[in-house]
Amino acid sequence: MTLEILTSDSLSPLKHGFFTRRGGASSGVFSGLNCGQGSSDQSEIVAINRARVAEAMGVTPDNLLGVHQIHSAKAITVSAPFSEKPRADALVTDQPGLALSVLTADCQPVLFADPQKRVIGAAHAGWRGALDGILEATIDAMCALGAERGDISAVIGPSISQSAYEVGPEFFDTFMSENPAHAQFFAQGQGDKLQFDLPAFGLSRLRQAGIGRAEWTRHCTYSDADRFFSYRRATHAKEADYGRLIAAISL
């Protein structure tokens, strides 16, 4: 099956993509393009999937770079391939021939580009990382490489949508303790539960950071099982593990 790659005009003309699960070699609960090396999928199958992504991005598998994601606000600058993944949640570079990637399964994959200054970034932004400042840290790292804040475009890829993201009062309290204005990202759910709008929160942080353009592709990972992996959906189905989607960008 052919790979399905979602793109955005906002990141053109740079090569980029939010890859769906279609076109991969994995089977079972990982069926499709599982790129999670930390999953319990067969490592050789994951390597095949990642090689397909690297080929689509026009780089060698070794130049498809990612980090050991830890739900942090740490963004790193890379200029060459590395043998051991750094612990961080975003990468930026101004070097051609490298594809920056992040893995997600409900969290926000965010791709960044300043096509004029030829600086790119990729961030993994779950609620914790987004609240702690991973998006702003990525932008700051890009600016340190010469990007102009007003020329940066950022696109949030397939993420869990508000209708599928039920949270408890403690979650709400965490956001309110940071800023009472965060109440706008919550809707009332059943009982004492609330529905959190992760993509809207990400868009708000990006726009407040003063970049030129920010958008969400408006794909919900939870509600479209044929195209996307979802940690929450897998948990609700009591599955043993779940696949990871990949998003990547290169110069």
Each residue's pLDDT tens digit in the chain (251 positions)?
Answer: 699 999 999 999 999 999 999 999 999 999 999 999 999 999 999 999 999 999 999 999 999 999 999 999 999 999 999 989 999 999 999 999 999 999 999 999 999 999 999 999 999 999 999 999 999 999 999 999 999 999 999 999 999 999 999 999 999 999 999 999 999 999 999 999 999 999 999 999 999 999 999 999 999 999 999 999 999 999 999 999 999 999 999 99
Are 52 and 33 a contacting pair, CB within 8 Å? yes
Residues counted in the chain: 251
Q: What is the pLDDT of residue 238?
A: 97
Q: What is the pLDDT of residue 232?
A: 98
Q: Where are the domains of the chain?
A: 5-159+216-250
Q: What is the pLDDT of residue 186?
A: 98
Q: What is the pLDDT of residue 27?
A: 97
Neighbours of 237 (CB within 10 A): 11
Residues 9 and 101: their CA atoms lie apart, in Å, by 19
Work out whether the CA dihedral 102, 104, 110, 115 comes out positive or negative.
positive
Do strands 99-104 and 64-65 pair parallel, antiparallel, or not at all (unpaired)?
parallel
Q: What is the pLDDT of residue 226?
A: 97
Q: What is the pLDDT of residue 67?
A: 98
Whole-number Cα distances in Å, 159 to 32, 110, 177, 228:
18, 10, 24, 9
Are 208 and 133 a contacting pair, CB within 8 Å? no
Q: What is the pLDDT of residue 2?
A: 92
CATH of domain 5-159+216-250: 3.60.140.10
